[in-house]
Structures are given as C-alpha cells and as structure tokens.
Amino acid sequence: MVDTVIIKFGGGLITDKSNLCTPNLDVISRLTKSVSQLFDENYHVIIVHGAGSYGHLKSKNWHLNSGFVKDFVPDYDDGICNQEEAVNSVRNDMLQLNNLIMESLQKHGVKSISFPPHEWAIGSGENFEGDLSQFDNPEIVTVTYGDVVDTNNMQRFTILSGDDICYRLAIELKAQHMIFAMGGAPGLMTAPPNQPDSNLIPIWTPDTQYIGTHTSSIDVTGGIKLKLDRASKISKVTSNVWIIDGEHEYRLIEAIKTLKTTGTKIKS
C-alpha cells in the first residue's frame, strides 16, 4: 500500500490574483519539483489547483457562480458579450493555467494526466456529481481544478470549488495526507497577515478563534471559511491535514514525510 496525498495549489499562490491570467511560473516550477520527489518515492499524488486570476475575475464580473440570468449586464465591459461566452472564456483560461502545471510536471519527469471538471463534474458544493474513481491510480499523478461546470437544473452552470473536490477526493479515496498550499502567510493566522499582531495558529480546531479575510470583490467561492470547513471535515478521516505557505515548497515535503513543519495543522 502507498500513501495517498492530495495537494491543493491555491489560486493566489500560483497566480497573481489581481491581474488577469498572470501565472507565477517560479512557484509552479518549485511546487511541481516537490511533487516529482514524492512521486519518485512512490506516493500516490493527486493535485487540485485553484483558479486565481485565470478564473475569479471574469467569473465575478459575470456572476457565473449564480448561474444563468437572462439579459445579464456585467459590472464592467471586458469584451465578452454574454454569460455563455464568459463560461467558455473562463474554461479556456483554466485550461491554459492547467497546461502550465502539466508542462511543469512533464519538465520534472512526472507522468501525469489532467481531468478538467467541466468534462466530468455536474453541480457545485460537496455533493456535486462526478466519477472520482479516475483519480485512483498510484501509477500516475492526476490533476484537476476549480472550474465552471454545468448543472442539471435551470441554473445551467455554476462554479465548482477546488476545495469541494479536495473534500470528496480525500473522503472517497481515503487519503492519508491533505495539504493546502497557499501564499502570503505561513498558515492560518490570528489576524490578517499584514497586521503586526498577526500570529501563526499552529493547530486549528473548529473552536479556534481567528480573524479571516475574504476578498469578495474577486473571489467567487467561499474563501478561507469554505477551506476550513472542508479541511475540518477531511481531518475526521485523514490524519494529516495542513495549511502551509507554498512559497516554501520544502514544507510540503516536511508535512508529508515527517508530519511536522511550519504551518497550521487541522484537527476536527
């Protein structure tokens, strides 16, 4: 038996979230190099990545998380004509970001395959529909991401968060490790990271006090609140759940191999 590891590359880590379709190629390269080390050591690795500036900005402008609205008028003119065109545009942008990750994995010698959610998933939230058995393959690194997906109702489309995908994968594949690699802070903080009195929370439980921030002007998913909710549920079945600073990619290896690192360990 090999350990199953699910790693979430946060969108704010692998892209500049405030500038449309701007990747952080150096971070992507260092993260995928760490994945190559784990893969070479026979860990079963699954990558889920966020959207960052490749998904959130257009999705927010066109309110894609709310579904179809007849004659919808966006917040500003971005050259897109309607919501259907915005759905296709975001999906294409996400494929571009995903391709950058796949190319980086290939560069580091990692055998990998991608499963775009709009091709296999229906609906949003933790009860979305989709066959996750395709990720149960220790011989290859499988990759997926948060995406605009179809629905089975009049909503037509919605946003499926990568955090919800992580939750389902961890539960259904009985993962031993779940690592949320984020940017901008060592882990979960007692206050926003830019405040001088902000300190790292080394162990988080649902009773732990913290002051979270949510960039509602950009984000179209649940932000840190959703992440902690899913991480807490994952920790009920997965013993090793962390939020770490992915810019220090060696912490990814430490958290998995030694079960100790700088970051926030999540416990239910």
> What one-character DSSP code corresponds to residue 268?
-
Phi and psi dihedrals of 208, rounded to 5? -75, 135
Beta bridge pairs of residue 242 = 179, 265
Residue 195: CB atoms within 10 A of its CB come to 11
* CB neighbour list of residue 12: distance below 8 Å, 6 or more residues apart: 50, 52, 182, 183, 184
Closest residue by Cα to residue 6 from 184, 227, 171:
171
pLDDT in tens, the chain (268 residues): 689 999 999 999 999 988 999 999 999 999 999 999 999 999 999 999 999 999 999 999 999 999 999 999 999 999 999 999 999 999 999 999 999 999 999 999 999 999 999 999 999 999 999 999 999 999 999 999 999 999 999 999 999 999 999 999 999 999 999 999 999 999 999 988 888 889 999 999 998 877 665 454 455 666 888 999 999 999 999 999 999 999 999 999 999 999 999 999 999 8
Cβ contact 27:246 at 8 Å? yes
* Side chain identity, residue 186: P
How many domains does one find in the chain? Answer: 1
* CB neighbour list of residue 255: distance below 8 Å, 6 or more residues apart: 177, 179, 240, 242, 244, 261, 263
pTM flag (> 0.85)? yes
The pLDDT assigned to 210 comes to: 74
The pLDDT assigned to 217 comes to: 47
Domain span at residue 101? Answer: 4-266
Cβ contact 142:115 at 8 Å? yes
Q: Output the domain CATH number for residue 138.
A: 3.40.1160.10
130 φψ region: left (φ > 0), alpha (ψ -120 to 50), beta (else): left
